[in-house]
Amino acid sequence: MENSLLTLKNITKKFGNFYANKDISFDVRKGEILTILGENGAGKSTLMNIITGFYMPDGGAIYINGQKVYFNSPKEAIKYGIGMVHQHFMLVKNHTVFENIYVALKDKNFIISKDHYIKKFKSVFDEFNLNIELKTPLWKLSIGEQQWIEIIKLLINDCNLLILDEPTTLLTPQETIFLFQFLNKLKEKGKSIIFISHKIKEVMEISDRITILKKGEYVTTLERDQFDEDHISKLMIGSTIKKSVKKSPVENNETILEMINVSAKNDKGLSDLVGFNLTLRRSEILGIAGISGNGQKALAEVLTGLKDPVDGKILLNNQDVTKGNSRQKYIHGIAHIPEDRKAMGIAPDLTVEENLILKNFKDKKFGTLILNKKMVKKHADLLISKFNIQFGIKSAPVRLLSGGNIQKVIIARELSEQPTILVALYPTRGLDIGSQEFIHDTILEHKSNGMSTIYISEDIDELLKICDRISVIFRGKNMGYVDPTNTDIYTIGKMMGGAITSD
């Protein structure tokens, strides 16, 4: 074991009576990329929080280079060369690249010797062929570039173990490739990397070894020659994932919804949608690919009535529903899975039952003035069993549910009224594979009942898997449609970068 940088022995962490981590032991070798795979709730985040000093384990020990260590804070973990790139970047948008890196330095002098650090930072940038100006304000950088800054913050502090939490979620395929090259270069220099991801395909591409966690416990570690997609998913969730879903072809070309030259502005008055065109056919799943921040949110908001378009027309069954009463009616009939589950989709302090009627509480069956609790319960029981929503105490607020179950509450509620159109905005983001499968199956099931879906996602694999057509959104414009059966991920990736417009 002299080759291992970090060794975990019997790490245990309890929250109340619940074991988030139980007797987890494994090691990270010098100069390797180790992936930790596991469903939501498998204990990955807790474990990473222990390694980076946010939590203290209730039992077990951490060894670095064979020496037993204790971390009381993330600062101490950094001292031992362990750093993490979080899924949500810890960067100050209004500050420059230099300031962002500088603020993360572990030992700063009272007097800022700017020139010295500029030289130091530049040398790291050059080492990895990163073309970033130190004086640039951070908000001007792309997501991929911001991620490099996060990694460089760790490198400047001489971190030898870098933990990356779902780093590819926000990246284009091209950016992902660059990130992987970057990681391989770090590996050559002897750095170790812990990689966390849900995407099995890319995990198999980048990892040297894969450690699998399940329900807070260590399952196994696979060497590179043991990688096999079915086998891995079996270990993770105990069942094999269906590789492809059976797509029933769209029966007719009847257009149900049409957007013509729709423009929308955001709160700052900048254009989010610019002359956006879209057609949606009956019972089809139309995927919208794109890097987040290219107008997806505005598109979903315009479609679901949270935002009014400044220009253009929306037609439902050839009837104008852009304004007024017809728009209200149209909004009422549309189902929506919002981007941010906790911020938009639920009333976190209310119970599951109460959240399940959020959409249709004005329905007469729930009473005219007084809420009919019996009906609410009946309504809830039906959806809870149908969608297999799992929760503890019945009267407990919904915010205590896991992410997957919160998403199930939202989906159950949205689909309970048999909508004709569903607008789903990143519905599987941050969910484990089991929950993702469930959401895909549910949408496909409703598709066969005639529901049309606009499925907005960044995960191209996912879109290729379930969509009948895919269109790409770039800077608020529709770049065109592609057929998922004869298009590869890279063509779409290029369109996401604004390169070509097909048909």
- Out of 53, 309, 338, 493, name the contact with other proteins by CB under 8 A: 338
Tell me, residue by residue from 385 to 424, as one string, x for binding to other proteins by CB under 8 A and - for no binding: -------xx-xx---x------------------------
Closest CA to 387 of 371, 369, 373, 406: 406
- Out of 177, 350, 444, 489, name the contact with other proteins by CB under 8 A: 350
User: How many angstroms separate the CA atoms of 300 and 282, rounded?
Assistant: 18
Are 196 and 166 contacting, i.e. CB atoms less than 8 angstroms apart?
yes
Are 40 and 402 contacting, i.e. CB atoms less than 8 angstroms apart?
yes
- Out of 18, 243, 385, 485, name the contact with other proteins by CB under 8 A: 18
Q: Which is nearer to other proteins, 118 or 350 (CB)?
A: 350
- Which one of 132-140, 344-352, 468-476, 489-497 is the stretch in contact with other proteins (CB under 8 A)? 344-352
User: How many angstroms separate the CA atoms of 51 and 188, rounded?
Assistant: 23
Are 5 and 55 contacting, i.e. CB atoms less than 8 angstroms apart?
no
For the CB of residue 358, give the shortest distance to other proteins in the complex, in Å.
Answer: 5
- Which one of 215-223, 239-247, 286-294, 353-361 is the stretch in contact with other proteins (CB under 8 A)? 353-361
Residue 364's alpha-carbon distances to 71, 129, 372, in angstroms, are 58, 64, 10
User: How many angstroms separate the CA atoms of 263 and 274, rounded?
Assistant: 5
For the CB of residue 171, give the shortest distance to other proteins in the complex, in Å.
Answer: 28
Are 352 and 400 contacting, i.e. CB atoms less than 8 angstroms apart?
no
For the CB of residue 16, give the shortest distance to other proteins in the complex, in Å.
Answer: 6
- Which one of 97-105, 170-178, 275-283, 369-377 is the stretch in contact with other proteins (CB under 8 A)? 369-377
The bridge status of strand 311-316 relative to strand 255-265 is antiparallel
User: How many angstroms separate the CA atoms of 55 and 121, rounded?
Assistant: 31
358 binds other proteins (CB under 8 A): yes
67 binds other proteins (CB under 8 A): no
- Out of 370, 449, 486, 503, name the contact with other proteins by CB under 8 A: 370
Closest CA to 323 of 262, 397, 387, 248: 262
User: How many angstroms separate the CA atoms of 407 and 427, rounded?
Assistant: 8
> Binders of other proteins: how many residues, by CB under 8 A?
39
User: How many angstroms separate the CA atoms of 191 and 83, rounded?
Assistant: 11
Q: Which is nearer to other proteins, 243 or 362 (CB)?
A: 362
Q: Three-state SS across 409-469?
A: HHHHHHHCCCCCEEEEECCCCCCCHHHHHHHHHHHHHHHHCCCEEEEEECCHHHHHHHCCE
Structure tokens at 244: 């492809």
For the CB of residue 350, give the shortest distance to other proteins in the complex, in Å.
Answer: 6
Restricted to residues 166-195, the positions that interact with other proteins (CB under 8 A) are none
- Which one of 14-22, 194-202, 381-389, 416-424 is the stretch in contact with other proteins (CB under 8 A)? 14-22
For the CB of residue 51, give the shortest distance to other proteins in the complex, in Å.
Answer: 17
Q: Which is nearer to other proteins, 31 or 305 (CB)?
A: 305
CA angle 271, 277, 282 (to 5 degrees): 135
Q: What is the DSSP letter of 366?
A: G
- Which one of 106-114, 278-286, 355-363, 425-433 is the stretch in contact with other proteins (CB under 8 A)? 355-363
Restricted to residues 464-503, the positions that interact with other proteins (CB under 8 A) are none
For the CB of residue 349, give the shortest distance to other proteins in the complex, in Å.
Answer: 4
Residue 174's identity, in one-letter code, is: Q
**Cα-only R_g, the chain:** 24
- Out of 111, 244, 343, 385, name the contact with other proteins by CB under 8 A: 343
For the CB of residue 335, give the shortest distance to other proteins in the complex, in Å.
Answer: 12
Q: Which is nearer to other proteins, 8 or 470 (CB)?
A: 8
For the CB of residue 224, give the shortest distance to other proteins in the complex, in Å.
Answer: 37
Positions in the binding site for other proteins (CB under 8 A): 15-16, 18, 55-56, 70, 72, 304, 306, 331-332, 336, 338, 343-350, 354, 357-359, 361-362, 366-371, 373, 392-393, 395-396, 400
